[in-house]
Copies of this chain bind each other. A is one copy, B any other.
């Protein structure tokens, strides 16, 4: 490795103990963050989700330690790309019961995806249905077999669309989903499953209201998605990506100019220029 691209608990290191609870039980959380000019523009939201997740999973998270490690990583890493944080319940004796409250902090640098990110997205409906679990819903924990199994169904070039066990739309595989019904923006409620994305929150709380929209957050049937006039997915690395197709079920003609999606992207990139590279071009 030419330069240090990972730290564990403040030390240049690319591995974690076999006794870490993150590995043995998925007892941990992660955040994948856009790194832009040496800054983490959405850190405030990432941090709040992390703290909520640590509380739910009983992880002894120390904010000042994390701030120190983040500072160290940002000094060592390239200024642009992605920073992935793994916060785990740390090393402990064998057994589900947590006996030693510690935590492990791993930070890794990744370059931004090299593949063209400007194209509209093709969605494929996954057969795998997300089970309900109110205690794990919303947080970005390390138990990701649902996503791994769903990803196993995907054809090359497609992103997965995930429904829950009640056949409601939840999210895309690595992003949240928004739809425009002709009047309002809607996005699925995530009380029973799914990850409450940082970009989703930014859009609901800052960007959409500044455009005069109040996003409707509610359970969404697949039929609502199929009849939507515009659909996009979003996450904290790629920003907003318009959807042009749900394979075999729906197509959206992307007349970007004058569309509602264009307005949202324009508003987002004015405040957060790091997401401008993701602007859609027909």
Interfacial residues, chain A to chain B (CB-CB below 8 A): 6, 8, 14-27, 30, 32, 57-58, 84, 86, 89, 94-98, 106, 108, 110, 128, 131-133, 135-136, 141-145, 147-152, 154, 165, 173-174
Contact = CB atoms under 8 A, between A and B. Distances in A.
Nearest to A8: B18
Nearest to A141: B145
A279 to B, nearest CB: 23
A212 to B, nearest CB: 36
28 contacts: A6-B18, A14-B18, A15-B15, A15-B16, A18-B86, A19-B108, A20-B23, A21-B148, A22-B23, A24-B30, A25-B144, A26-B26, A26-B142, A26-B144, A27-B144, A27-B145, A57-B145, A57-B148, A57-B149, A58-B152, A96-B147, A96-B148, A97-B152, A97-B154, A98-B148, A131-B133, A141-B145, A143-B143
Nearest to A108: B18
Contacts of A174: 95-96
Which of A24, A132, A152 is most buried by chain B, counting CB atoms within 10 A of its CB? A24
A148 B23 contact: no
Contacts of A133: 131
Contacts of A142: 23-26, 145
A263 B183 CA distance: 71
Contact of A136 (B20, B25, B32, B145): B145
A110 B86 contact: no
